Amino acid sequence: MTTSTQTDAPLPTHTDATGSSMATPAPVSASLTSSPLNSDAREVVDPITNWDGFSFDTRQVHVGEYADENCGARIPPLTLSAGYVFDSFDDGAARFNGGSREPIYSRQGNPTNAVAEQRLASLEGGTACVAVSSGQAAISAALFALAEAGEHIVSTASIYGGTRILLGRSFRRMGIEVDYVWDTDSDEAWDAVIRPETKAIFTETIPNPRNDVVDIARIAAVARRHGIPLVVDNTVATPYLIRPFEHGADIVVHSTTKFLSGHGAGVSGAIVDGGTFDWAASSRRYPLLTDSLRPGLPSLLDRFGPAAFAQYVREAVVNDVGPALSPFNGFLLHQGIETLSLRMERHVDNSRAIAHWLEEQPEVEVVDYAGLPSSPLHDIAQQYYNGRTGSVFAVTVRGGIEGARAFTNGLRVFSRMTGIGDTRSMVLHPLTTTHASFAPDLNARLGITAGMLRLSVGIEALDDLLLDLRGGLDRVAGIL
């Protein structure tokens, strides 16, 4: 896959509501030459509501927008309302009993959040999306929808530290066990831990913090062979760099706090249903999707088909547990998504240049960026990302923890903080922060060492970032 394929969607061939081809503009309307005061002659042009077939760059701007009937506001309005008025007694009953898809209450859905949901579903190539209050909420909701007490999840070992804590603490408390696979290319390693109770496989496309990309199609083949859905955290890559459904994933989750929003102004998350998993055919049972949840009501699979999983997450998990997204943050999210491709280009250009430069510096021990020719993961990086493996990666400086301290304190443009994926560059020392609660041997196995720093490279000018990093490395040189 090359990044140029981001805009390779077929030319739009569908027709708009007036029947004119979208690819060949209709002749200039006679109404343009008639008197603007003659209202009878004014043409009303229906808005495009179906953006299928348009390019990624166009869809990130438009999908989900709707015509504001109040004043024609160009930006989909921010609907700050907890609930929605029923048209009548019967309408209320219909909304609660599957007879209407109109909103009920903002814990299940909100028109502002729906804009972000439709936009992200389109960019990922999924059937439906549910926006939630954080990335952690998205991972929790997706996995909790699949597994219950007494069941089991298998994950790749190198994942975001917060997810490892979530699985090892809260999921364990709920009776859901987790096993990790270290050698993700080994079928035997997967087969050794997958059991009859295993209900999901979890991985990250570009793992945070070490950029140790996985062969997603290979893991999808394992999941398919065992009849288990593959859940992929695509936060760091975003659908601009890779769309996991195209490589066999079934469900995608995001911390939309990060690149999708891009501004770092709000926390949010999302679950996208690929519509690819055959719930009814799996040897593992997913009765919440395949069986009727109430007498007289068809199953979610019967009612929602390829979007049944998303509907289950919305209706049952998110509605029950309550991690609803504030529409204010939903608004910030759909505004952010509009510029995703532009920001990602700059993030990745800066990161590649910085990774190459860092590798040449005498104060640097190693740079973990899969896109570098020196990386053992270079082949996977080329195959899936054309070497452009995002902008979150690790650099290990000489001097151990003292080197890491000197480097961090020597930076001024890079913010010292936890967080990734917004416009600003950020630096973090995982061993003393995100990974501080892990046993030393686990951190050693994960490659989280004393001198290792996580960088999230922003969209500032490359020269300024290089100068800043040089300042940090000069401090390292001073203590060696």
- In the complex with ligand PLP, the residue whose CB is nearer, 59 or 334, is 334
Q: For 456, how many CA atoms within 13 A lie in the half-sphere containing its CB?
A: 28
List, in order, residues 6 or more apart from 74 with CB less than 8 Å away: none
Q: Does 332 bind ligand PLP (CB under 6 A)?
A: no
Minimum separation from the CB atom of position 390 to ligand PLP (A): 11
Q: Does 255 bind ligand PLP (CB under 6 A)?
A: yes
Q: Does 341 bind ligand PLP (CB under 6 A)?
A: no
- In the complex with ligand PLP, the residue whose CB is nearer, 377 or 473, is 377
How big is the CA angle at 371 (ends 367 and 376), to the nearest 5 degrees? 70
> For the purposes of burial, counting CB atoms within 10 Å of the CB of 322, is it exposed (0-12), middle (13-18) or buried (19 or more)?
exposed
Distance CA 123, CA 174 (A): 33
- In the complex with ligand PLP, the residue whose CB is nearer, 122 or 255, is 255
- In the complex with ligand PLP, the residue whose CB is nearer, 166 or 473, is 166
Minimum separation from the CB atom of position 323 to ligand PLP (A): 10
- In the complex with ligand PLP, the residue whose CB is nearer, 204 or 422, is 204
Residue nearest to ligand PLP (CB): 135
CA-nearest of 171, 239, 162 to 418 is: 162
CA-nearest of 194, 246, 184 to 218 is: 184
- The correct pick among 113, 158, 198, 257 for binding ligand PLP (CB under 6 A) is 257
Q: How far is CA 85 from CA 95, 112, 303, in A?
A: 11, 17, 24
Q: Which of residues 116-155 bind ligand PLP (CB under 6 A)?
A: 134-136
Minimum separation from the CB atom of position 382 to ligand PLP (A): 22
Minimum separation from the CB atom of position 339 to ligand PLP (A): 19
Minimum separation from the CB atom of position 421 to ligand PLP (A): 8
Minimum separation from the CB atom of position 413 to ligand PLP (A): 21
- In the complex with ligand PLP, the residue whose CB is nearer, 233 or 422, is 233
Query: The tokens of 394 are what?
Result: 């690790």
Distance CA 56, CA 246 (A): 15
Q: Does 391 bind ligand PLP (CB under 6 A)?
A: no
CA-nearest of 198, 205, 219, 124 to 160 is: 205
- In the complex with ligand PLP, the residue whose CB is nearer, 200 or 406, is 200
The contact pattern for ligand PLP, residues 397-436, with x = CB under 6 A and - = no contact, is -----------------------x----------------
Minimum separation from the CB atom of position 255 to ligand PLP (A): 3
Q: Does 212 bind ligand PLP (CB under 6 A)?
A: no
CA-nearest of 187, 179, 252, 241 to 213 is: 241
CA 93 to chain centre: 35
Q: Does 262 bind ligand PLP (CB under 6 A)?
A: no
Minimum separation from the CB atom of position 283 to ligand PLP (A): 30
- In the complex with ligand PLP, the residue whose CB is nearer, 252 or 267, is 267
**CB atoms inside a 10 Å sphere around CB 291:** 11
Helix (H, G, I), strand (E, B) or coil at 73: coil
Number of residues that bind ligand PLP (CB under 6 A): 16
- In the complex with ligand PLP, the residue whose CB is nearer, 333 or 465, is 333
Q: Which of residues 150-189 bind ligand PLP (CB under 6 A)?
A: 160, 162-163
- In the complex with ligand PLP, the residue whose CB is nearer, 288 or 392, is 392
Minimum separation from the CB atom of position 138 to ligand PLP (A): 7
List, in order, residues 6 or more apart from 365 with CB less than 8 Å away: 396, 397, 398, 451
Q: How far is CA 28 from CA 11, 24, 34, 95, 384, in A?
A: 22, 12, 12, 44, 44
Distance CA 433, CA 418 (A): 8
Minimum separation from the CB atom of position 269 to ligand PLP (A): 5
Q: Which of residues 222-241 bind ligand PLP (CB under 6 A)?
A: 233, 235-236
Check if the beta carbon of residue 103 is closer than 8 Å to that of residue 110: yes
- In the complex with ligand PLP, the residue whose CB is nearer, 131 or 476, is 131
- The correct pick among 106, 156, 205, 208 for binding ligand PLP (CB under 6 A) is 208
Distance CA 210, CA 448 (A): 9
**Crossing angle of helices 340-359/462-479, nearest 10°?**
30
Q: Does 269 bind ligand PLP (CB under 6 A)?
A: yes
> For the purposes of burial, counting CB atoms within 10 Å of the CB of 333, is it exposed (0-12), middle (13-18) or buried (19 or more)?
buried
- In the complex with ligand PLP, the residue whose CB is nearer, 181 or 426, is 426
Distance CA 469, CA 3 (A): 27
Residues near ligand PLP (CB under 6 A): 134-136, 160, 162-163, 204, 208, 233, 235-236, 255, 257, 267, 269, 420
